[in-house]
Amino acid sequence: MNLFGSRQRGPQETREDGRPRLPPGQRLTDGWPVLHYGGIPEVDTATYQLRIFGLVEEAKTLSWADFMALPQVESRSDIHCVTTWSKYDNDWVGVRFVDLQALVNVAPEAAHVVFHSYGGYTTNVPLAELQAPHNMLVHTHAGRPLDPEHGGPLRGLVPNLYFWKSAKWINGIEFVARDRPGFWEMYGYHMHGDPWIEERYG
């Protein structure tokens, strides 16, 4: 019996860009571990606000209804956590980062983004890397609304970097000129976090 279906699996499997599908030092998990610092903040869609601010011509604050009125897209991607578990074939629904960026006029000197969350979590990502379509803010996983423990109602999704770059309970997108460490980055995690070259720490 092939537990993984018909698709070719194993250490030889490669991605479209030729890199191995499973990054070095990672192993596949079946479940979905829950990892975060502190408690789960209460986030109500009735009062939800997403701020898009920083180096923009005009900052915007979106309600839940505003967010859901934006183009909703599906995407499938793999999760790679720095604690070495990976989870393949996650089906997400949400809004692409580029479609949110298009709502504000980003200043030319903006080069990095800091994602903010209810509860105070932050994480930094280079702006250029967020232009690829798989970078999103997502509310649905495997056809179901995201559980609060996984960041529901809305989390960031930056699948080409370690999963700590995917902020749960997201409530802010800040455009900045100079790279600025977020929560885990201040505790020694890598400023970039590319799993294929094991940018785990410092």
Minimum distance between the CB of residue 117 and ligand MTE, rounded to whole angstroms? 4
Place of tokens 């599906």: 74
Minimum distance between the CB of residue 162 and Mo ion, rounded to whole angstroms? 7
Q: Is 25 in the site for ligand MTE (CB under 6 A)?
A: no
Minimum distance between the CB of residue 167 and Mo ion, rounded to whole angstroms? 11
Closest by Cα among 129, 123, 130, 108 to 172: 123
Report the run of H or E that residue 64 belongs to, with start and end.
Answer: helix 64-68
Measured CA to CA, the distance from residue 122 to residue 142 in angstroms comes to 26
Half-sphere exposure for 148 (CA within 13 Å, toward CB): 9
CB of 21 or CB of 168, closer to Mo ion? 168
Are 198 and 25 spatial neighbours (Cβ–Cβ below 8 Å)? yes
CB of 67 or CB of 184, closer to ligand MTE? 184
Residues 150-169 that bind ligand MTE (CB under 6 A): 150-151, 163-164, 166-169
Q: Is 112 in the site for ligand MTE (CB under 6 A)?
A: no
Question: Which of 33, 132, 133, 142 contacts ligand MTE by CB under 6 A?
Answer: 33
Angle at 111 between CA 174 and CA 53, to 5 degrees: 20
What does the binding site for ligand MTE look like in residue numbers (CB under 6 A)?
A: 32-37, 81, 117, 119, 121, 150-151, 163-164, 166-169, 184
